[in-house]
Amino acid sequence: MVEFPKGFTSHVANIGIKDTTNDLVIVAADKPVAAAGVFTKSRFAGPSVDISRRHVENHAARAVVVLSKNANVANGPQGLSDAEEVVAGVSQALHCDPSDVLIASTGVIGRRYPMDRIRAGLAQVPKELSGTDAISVAQGIMTTDTVHKIAEAAVAGARIVGVAKGVGMIEPDMATLIAMVFTDAAVIGDDLDRIWRRVIDRTFNCVSIDSDTSTSDTAVVLASGAAGRVDLSDFEVALESVCLSLTKQVARDGEGAEKLIEVHVDGARDREQAKTVAKAIVNSPLVKTAVHGADPNWGRVAMAIGKCSQYTDVDPEAVVIRFGDLEVYPRPIDERDLSKLSDYMRSHDIVIHVSLSTGNQAATVWGCDLTDGYIRINADYTT
């Protein structure tokens, strides 16, 4: 059991959205608290995203409701009306204003919520939430995840607990599919928003499973303040540790994944260049399949760097490519090194390190290998 930080309680239930696993999650504070949110930039963003983006503009919220296994995306005005009804039902149960409720949805696109089941489920929400176990919340938001994802940290007497879900349709233009972080540290909304955006950019924004951006990406943080004030720099470090752990958990559990890929690019002219090159590597189907097959074909990394043709300052003669600690380019590798590389490629965690020699900035991204399991999961997703 991982208890929520002080000031938060939850309700988790199965209301029959798709199957018999839990699919309704509500986490609430006793009153509106500091909050921040970052959401997908998809032009097909669902109504859950639109509502939550609007409700968190004032950097405050009382509760978050998550419906899993149905994204409620591309359903027109009726989809928006359904999402607003869910928010209204939660606000009625918690005796708060609907604008204090954030909502997230995840699952199949283009299907309406089963509103009769949802109405019945919301009618069973207790007047006072009593759940304190964050693990049940992490499990309740899962769809095709094979394991729940949770992380925690402490800072000066305060705690931070985060949960996330997401294993496919992940190339965030902001965050991972759904992430919720709760803390009892006292941080005002404006500060929380600035810190959250910086942390998101260094963690969830650096994970990619399949290069596809979800319509439902939602990442929110709520701070109850029950543990008192903390140093903001220390808080940001602790918050980033939680989000980084969740980022790696998401990458490791990518649909069908068997290996974690970490790509570190340094010696770049700026962080954007480093991140762009790193993403080109981690998103390459040829790199991902080589990692899956333990094929020591390092030339695919060179290919991925080369297709970033907008960077004319990248000189191939100055680039260095390493797998773990083993340099494979530009120093020619002999048969012994090739054997070492083959052994390394059989590891469960693969680190690819590229130095561009165009500056002194760096970025790290995370992803996974591409397996036949990924194909099967997504070929049969709705059937």
Catalytic residues: 176
Phi, psi of 316 (to 5 degrees): -55, -30
At 82, which helix (H) or strand (E)? helix 76-94
CB 200 within 8 A of CB 173: no
- Cα 236 vs. chain centroid, distance in angstroms? 17
Nearest CA-CA partner of 272 in 240, 241, 313: 313
Task: Kindly list the distances between the CA atom of residue 126 and the CA atoms of 1, 9, 92, 129, in Å, as whole numbers in the listed order.
Answer: 22, 12, 11, 6
Q: Nearest-5° angle of CA 55, CA 237, CA 199?
A: 40
CA dihedral (283, 285, 291, 296) positive or negative = negative
Rounded to whole angstroms, the Cα distance separating 150 from 248 reads: 11
Rounded to whole angstroms, the Cα distance separating 351 from 13 reads: 40
CB 321 within 8 A of CB 298: yes
3-state class percentages of the chain: helix first, strand second, coil last, to nearest 5: 35, 30, 35
Pairing outcome for strands 178-186 and 218-229: parallel
CB 197 within 8 A of CB 242: no
Classified as helix, coil or strand, 297 is coil
